[in-house]
Structure 1
Amino acid sequence: MQSWLTIIGGVLMAIVVYELLRRQVLKRAALKIRRAGQRTVDSAMVAAFKVLANAMTIQEVAGAIHSVPVADVWGRGVMAFEYVLDVPGMVTADLPEVRRLFNNELQAYAIHNQVVAFR
């Protein structure tokens, strides 16, 4: 009886260790993928900001342009990043024009650098 309990305990412990290691490996792989995506998005945004800066005055809030992941709640493979900008004198009515400029510049960047989008 004691040997069966030892075997069952060992199997349960092995399963727990396996699951912990598997989760760590998956977490590390997801972090690498997110960082690669974040670098791509940051470089695209830097290019878009350069073009947009010619059209209006933009100042980065924290110095260098960098993104912050919004949340990890959408599931595997979904990446969303946030940028904070301080644009003096901008009103809500200007936002559609800014969105259009950003979309056009990001589209041109994607075509020029062969960035593939998945939908």
Structure 2
Amino acid sequence: MVLFFQVIIGLILALIVYNLIHYLFVSRPTRKRLKMGQKVVDQAVNGVLPELVTKVDILPIRSQEIAKVWGRGVMAFEYEIAKDKTNLSADEFRQQLTTSLDEYGKHHHFESSAVKNDQSVFRLTDVWELEDKLHFDVAFMVNQTTIEYVEDLDRLT
């Protein structure tokens, strides 16, 4: 009977130690990298958005993480603005935002060894309209997980 309780206590302690190590060495650093990437992408989007919107009273806008849906380590973020804040269609908005983010990345010397030389580190992955709002996703191409996510999206389209 004593051996049974020792085994149970040992299993509980092993589970606690495993969860603590996982939190300290996996979860927390991943969350920190994601927050840092989100801050960089927010700055980039807020830097180029005044060129594309008619009313800048919406700035600064903040993103929402989509990594919870697509997996750990995916540096992709969703934004939304009211449709009446821009005179552009979704396709025009996509083209101009892609160009502006490319220029922003080059101007601010954002480079990543993970992407090809001709690709921007900021990648607009999707633009859509829903309930009088224009939604768009921007990926920060700095790790292999994000690059694979974008490649998967490209295969779907």
Task: Normalising by structure 2, report the TM-score.
Answer: 0.60
Aligned-residue identity in percent: 27
Higher share in strand:
2
Question: Does 1:107 find its partner at 2:102?
Answer: yes
Higher share in helix:
1
Contact 2:55 2:86 in 1 (8 A): no
How many residues matched?
A: 113
Aligned residue in 1 for 2:9? 10
Q: Whole-Å Cα distance in 2 between the matches of residues 85 and 76 of structure 1? A: 26
Aligned residue in 1 for 2:78? 82
3-state SS of 2:69 partner: coil
Structure 2 stretches lacking a partner, 5+ long: 113-140, 148-157
Q: Whole-Å Cα distance in 2 between the matches of residues 94 and 75 of structure 1? A: 31
Higher normalized contact order (CA 8 Å, seq sep 6+, divided by chain length): 1
- Name which of structure 1's ranges 75-84 and 39-48 shifts more when overlaid on structure 2: 75-84
Contact 2:67 2:73 in 1 (8 A): no
Query: After superposition, where does 1:25-44 map in structure 2 within 5 Å?
Result: 25=24, 26-44=26-44
Contact 1:70 1:81 in 2 (8 A): yes
Which entry has the higher C-alpha Rg, 1 or 2? 1
Aligned residue in 1 for 2:69? 73
Instruction: Give how far 1:31 is off.
Output: 1.4
Structure 1 stretches lacking a partner, 5+ long: none
Aligned residue in 1 for 2:47? 47
